[in-house]
Amino acid sequence: MGSALVVAAGIGCVIALQVSIVGRAATRFNVLAVSLVLQVGGLLAGLTWTSIRSGWAEIAALTKLWWWLPLGVAGWVLVAGLGFASSRVGVAATLSVAVASQLTVGLAIDAGSGSHLGIRALIGLLLLVSGTALITTRT
């Protein structure tokens, strides 16, 4: 579990940097265009990885599933939305609201799938939501 948490922390750092850059770019360009350019960058990275790993059969199999298209659209909208919000309220406020929302929905999904959620999870959620309120409330 330790290495997975290190990877998650690294991803969190990358997301913060990406949101900052997209937010700044959104002050000069349409945020949907910025998001599309990022998606093209991701596509190029994915094509390179797939070519190196000879993963074309996997790609072909996945394109037969229905869920890849709405999730791809969601990814494009997600990046655009983060850029839109961060250009108006800042990176910290945007990410704190996004993470608090993710945790809330994640706990609901876990509860709905039968995972046991103890009081510690609820206290963690309360602390995160409280922190979000502190970060987003203007003094």
DSSP for 52-63 reads HHT-HHHHHHHT
Rounded distance between C-alpha atoms, residue 91 and residue 111, angstroms: 30
pLDDT exceeds 80 at position 139: no
Q: Is the pTM of this model over 0.75?
A: yes
The answer for 137, left when phi > 0, alpha when psi is -120 to 50, beta otherwise, is beta
Would you state the pLDDT for residue 99?
93
Mean pLDDT over 43-72 rounds to 91
Contact 119, 128 (CB under 8 A): no
Would you state the pLDDT for residue 98?
94
Give start and end residues of each alpha helix (H) in the chain. 2-25, 31-53, 56-62, 68-89, 91-112, 119-136
Give the burial class of 54: count Cβ atoms within 10 A of its Cβ; 0-12 exposed, 13-18 middle, 19 or more buried. Answer: exposed
Rounded distance between C-alpha atoms, residue 13 and residue 46, angstroms: 21
